[in-house]
Amino acid sequence: MMDQENINSSGTLYLGTLAGVSIHLHFTFVILFVVLLFSSTGTPVEQGLYMAALFLSVVAHEVGHALMSHRFGIHTLEVIMFPVGGVARLSRQPTSRLELWISLAGPSTNFLIAVALTLVQIQRLGWDKTAESLRTPDADLLSKCILANTSLAIFNLLPAFPMDGGKALRGFLSLFRSERDASRLAYLIGRTVAIALGLVGLFAGYYLLTVVAVFVYFGAAQDNAAKLGRTLLAGVQVREAMVTEFDTLPHGATIGDAAKKLLATSQQDFPVVSGEQVVGLLSRNLLLGSMAEDGPDTYVAGAMNREFLRLPPESELMDALPLLSDSGACGLVMDGETLLGLLTTENLAEFLVLRRIGIESKQLAKDDQESVDQD
């Protein structure tokens, strides 16, 4: 399971919707099926049944994740099946701690299925024959399914992104360290494991393992990027990102005066003041609407929004962002009744770009420092 906002459904085959979750099959999954079909023995019917069982096992794995996310109030919007598992698009990004439980739920589901099927097999064949059919599973579909679910569980628990094990590791580390350190450490371990897997695959001739390792290696980088957005917002106060140079309108101004200001400045939203006191907010849309309906001579006080969004300067950007998108793109940063600044989606976007560049150059400097240290 990976959670990425940017995964789109290109290159996938839509399969259907299960419990409100739309399921897509990535084309690489189809390739895996073809490879398995040619490398496994049995009649076409047996092969077909085995494929179906494999597919259901992967779906069950994803359902395990989805049910656990649901418990934490996070909804799975879409699942895309890759050969190494599914990629779930979630309604919101879970914290690393929740991720620990959500990521363990998938492999646990496969383990449970394997245990249940083993019990059925023991019931059917007895202990000795069950053990024997697990050693030579080719003859028996049920034994193949037991092994497939066990390997799905173990494989997904490898401590590397985008495998569940990588996320579980990050969640586990975040119990003891800051989320950022946990991410960084888990990411390093993940890349190391990927390189090790790739080498083992090359030398032992398991080329499929090498392919998986490459996927894991690049998956780690992608997953890190998804986390970056959250890192950029985390711990930043509204006052650090707000616009501090702006114009206000006196409450006696007309819509015509406001329109002149809209043209003369790059500002879109104007706080309306009466003396020192803020009485409302006139957004570009309200201004234009009022202009069209009532003409330029009406007073801004009649058109402005009195129930504008107030943000305390020390509140966090992470919390302000959803409020901002609900309120129509502008909030007033106020310390009590004193207006300190404006927070708009445009200046927030600029702030994030600047911060990202800042973080990356710091990161580069740090990496340089580390390589110097190693020399």
Applying CB under 5 A, the residues found at the interface with Zn ion are 1, 85, 106, 164
- How far apart CA 293 and CA 331 sit, in angstroms, is 25
Q: Closest CB to Zn ion among 88 and 301?
A: 88
| Residue 69 falls in which region: left (phi positive, over 0), alpha (psi -120 to 50) or beta | alpha
Q: Which of 187-218 are b and which e, b meaning 16 or more Cβ less than 10 Å from the residue's Cβ?
A: bebbbebbeebbeebeeeeeeebbbbbebbbe
Taking a C-beta distance cutoff of 8 angstroms, is the pair 264, 235 a contact?
no
Instruction: Tell me how far, at minimum, the Cβ of 165 lies from Zn ion, in Å.
Output: 9
- How far apart CA 48 and CA 50 sit, in angstroms, is 5
Instruction: Tell me how far, at minimum, the Cβ of 83 lies from Zn ion, in Å.
Output: 13
Q: What is the Cα gyration radius of the chain?
A: 28
Instruction: Tell me how far, at minimum, the Cβ of 71 lies from Zn ion, in Å.
Output: 16
Q: Closest CB to Zn ion among 86 and 201?
A: 86
Half-sphere exposure of 242 toward its Cβ, with a 13 Å CA cutoff?
Answer: 26
Instruction: Tell me how far, at minimum, the Cβ of 372 lies from Zn ion, in Å.
Output: 39
Instruction: Tell me how far, at minimum, the Cβ of 36 lies from Zn ion, in Å.
Output: 19
- How far apart CA 141 and CA 147 sit, in angstroms, is 10
For residue 164, what are the contacts with CB-CB under 8 A and spacing of at least 6? 1, 65, 85, 103, 104, 106, 107, 156, 157
CA dihedral (155, 158, 162, 167) in degrees, to 10, reads: 130
Instruction: Tell me how far, at minimum, the Cβ of 8 lies from Zn ion, in Å.
Output: 20
Instruction: Tell me how far, at minimum, the Cβ of 110 lies from Zn ion, in Å.
Output: 9
Q: Closest CB to Zn ion among 104 and 262?
A: 104
Q: Which of 25-49 are b and which e, b meaning 16 or more Cβ less than 10 Å from the residue's Cβ?
A: bbebbeebbeeeeeeeeeeeebbee
Taking a C-beta distance cutoff of 8 angstroms, is the pair 144, 137 a contact?
yes
Q: Closest CB to Zn ion among 53 and 125?
A: 53
Instruction: Tell me how far, at minimum, the Cβ of 190 lies from Zn ion, in Å.
Output: 15
Instruction: Tell me how far, at minimum, the Cβ of 61 lies from Zn ion, in Å.
Output: 5
Give me the residue whose beta carbon is nearest to Zn ion.
Answer: 106
Please choose, from the candidates 306, 295, 308, the residue with its C-alpha nearest in 3D space to the C-alpha of residue 257: 295
Cis-peptide, bond into residue 296, ω within 30° of zero: no
In order of 34, 97, 103, 155, 246, the CA distances from 67 in angstroms are: 30, 16, 11, 21, 48
Write down the H helix ranges in the chain: 27-39, 44-71, 96-125, 127-135, 141-156, 164-173, 179-204, 207-233, 238-241, 255-264, 284-294, 300-303, 317-327, 345-374
Q: Closest CB to Zn ion among 78 and 164?
A: 164
Instruction: Tell me how far, at minimum, the Cβ of 156 lies from Zn ion, in Å.
Output: 5
